[in-house]
Chain A
Amino acid sequence: DIQMTQSPSSLSASVGDRVTITCRASQSINNYLNWYQQKPGNAPKLLIYEASTLQTGVPSRFSASGSGTDFTLTISSLQPEDFATYYCLHQYTIPAWTFGQGTKVEIK
Chain B
Amino acid sequence: QVTLRESGPALVKPTQSVTLTCTFSGFSLSTSGMCVSWIRQPPGKALEWLARIHWDDSKYYDTSLKTRLTISKDNSKNQVVVTMTNMDPVDTATYYCARTRGYSNGFDYWGQGALVTVSS
Main secondary structure of the interface of A (DSSP, over half): loop
Interface set, chain B 75-119, CB cutoff 8 A to A: 96, 98, 100, 103-108, 110-113
> Once bound together, how far apart are the Cα atoms of A50 and B46, in whole Å?
21
Q: Could you say which of B47, B106, B111, B113 contacts A102, with CB atoms under 8 Å apart?
A: B47
Asked if B60 is at the interface of the complex by the 8 Å CB criterion, the answer is yes
> How many chain B residues touch the partner (CB < 8 A)?
25
> Once bound together, how far apart are the Cα atoms of A96 and B48, in whole Å?
11
Given A49-B106, A89-B107, A99-B47: 17 more A-B contacts, CB < 8 Å: A34-B106, A36-B47, A43-B112, A44-B110, A46-B106, A46-B108, A49-B105, A49-B108, A50-B104, A55-B108, A91-B106, A94-B60, A95-B62, A95-B63, A96-B60, A98-B49, A102-B47
B residues adjacent to A (C-beta < 8 A): 37, 39, 46-49, 52, 60-63, 66, 96, 98, 100, 103-108, 110-113
